[in-house]
Amino acid sequence: MKILLSNSSSVPIYEQIKKWIIEQIMNNELQEDELLPSIRSLALDLHISVMTVKKAYDELESEGYIITRHGKGSFVAPRNRELMREEKLKEMESLLEKALNIAKSLHVSLDEVKEILEYLDGRKK
């Protein structure tokens, strides 16, 4: 597992690990029931504290992304379709908010934005 961490980022290391694993799950790079590296081995690979990785794994488990089977390891949890949809909706809202801010700065009306969306969707000929 190749995780790129930034020591200069304001985002804590455990959050960077958590975000990376979530992205891999969302992009189907990590599959349901796939075994994740052990906390200890990931900490060694990344040259960080075991407690940092443990915190990331604990949060991932509490949020339903992974499950831990004692004596066997941590695995990608079965897909919670509603959770996955909610994450994608949050991402979409963020992107649309950026698009609307650009539209406002250019004085583009909401109707024009809707036309653009319809065009991009292929409904408008």
Report the percentage of the chain scoring pLDDT > 70: 95
The pLDDT of residue 39 is: 96
The pLDDT of residue 4 is: 83
Comparing 22-31, 61-70, 81-90, 106-115, which segment has the lowest mean pLDDT?
Answer: 81-90
Same domain, yes or no, for 66 and 85? Answer: no
Same domain, yes or no, for 34 and 64? Answer: yes
| 5 inside domain | no
Q: Which residues pair with 73 in a beta bridge?
A: 69
| 8 inside domain | no
What is the Cα–Cα distance from 6 to 70, expressed in whole angstroms? 31
| 103 inside domain | yes
Among candidates 72, 47, 60, which has minimal Cα distance to 20?
60
Same domain, yes or no, for 21 and 51? Answer: yes
What rounded mean pLDDT belongs to the chain? 91
Q: What is the secondary structure of 39-87 as a DSSP string? A: HHHHHHHHTS-HHHHHHHHHHHHHTTSEEEETTTEEEEPPP-HHHHHHH
Query: How long a stretch of residues is the chain?
Result: 125
What is the Cα–Cα distance from 103 to 109, expressed in whole angstroms? 7
What is the Cα–Cα distance from 76 to 64, expressed in whole angstroms? 9
Which structural domain, as residue segments, surrounds residue 66?
Answer: 13-76
